[in-house]
């Protein structure tokens, strides 16, 4: 019996070579963690995600991007990291110090560090619409939907739908008790065999059936 695609396959759909599982590309990337089966519509090369879709991500800063399992990332989605931050607590946000020539003196690194917002964390089964942007340090809960062109500046609760700039909650996909149950079941943590046996329950809308599968 088949048990789904190989999560180590960089191009799991021969008929659509632009679809890439991202986890296999993370080898050697210490500041990016991506779960199995998360895919990106790569326009032909999944490695481009790390150069073109994760921006201002510099090793010396140390911030991390964590994306869980079974996330869906459309073309043009961008994750902005803390390397793009400018100190904003003074009159000018201009980065004089990086140009040298005497401008580096008198710069207090703490003013720049204070502008950093920490790691960016995306949980599981999150769908990112085309050209969405995620700002530094944002957390996005499992089952969320990020609309096309949304700019996510604040935490997104599990199973919320957000849209706009800045992104705001348009609706909640389920009531609180259902969300709590889905997070407790956490089907994305099941092994491939169990997922394969229970695809109808995972894709359906019958909570009792999913509970029984769990």
Catalytic residues, which ones?
A: 86
Distance of CA 200 to the CA centre of its chain: 26
With residue 55 as reference, give the H or E element that holds it. strand 54-55
- Alpha carbon of 83 to those of 73, 110, 136, 147, 205: distances in Å? 22, 14, 9, 25, 41
Q: Around Cβ 213, how many Cβ atoms within 10 Å?
A: 19
């Amino acid at each position: 019996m088949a048990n789904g695609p190989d999560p180590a396959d960089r191009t799991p759909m021969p008929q659509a070579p632009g679809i890439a599982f991202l986890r296999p590309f993370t080898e050697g990337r210490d500041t990016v963690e991506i779960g199995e089966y998360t895919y990106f519509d790569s326009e032909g090369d999944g490695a481009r995600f790390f150069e073109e879709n994760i921006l201002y991500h510099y090793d010396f800063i140390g911030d991390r991007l964590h994306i869980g399992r079974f996330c869906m990332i459309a073309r043009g989605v961008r994750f902005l990291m803390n390397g793009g931050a400018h100190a904003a607590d003074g009159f000018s946000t201009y980065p004089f110090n990086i140009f040298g020539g005497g401008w580096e003196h008198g710069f207090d690194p703490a003013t720049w560090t204070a502008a950093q917002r920490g790691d960016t964390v995306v949980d599981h089964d999150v769908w990112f619409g085309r050209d969405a942007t995620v700002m530094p340090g944002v957390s996005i809960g499992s089952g969320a939907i990020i609309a096309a062109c949304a700019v996510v500046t604040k935490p997104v609760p599990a199973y919320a739908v957000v849209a706009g700039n800045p992104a705001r909650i348009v609706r909640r996909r389920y009531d609180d008790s259902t969300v709590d149950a889905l997070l407790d079941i956490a089907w994305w943590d099941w092994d491939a065999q169990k997922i394969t046996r229970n695809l109808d329950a995972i894709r359906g809308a019958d909570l009792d059936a999913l509970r029984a599968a769990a």
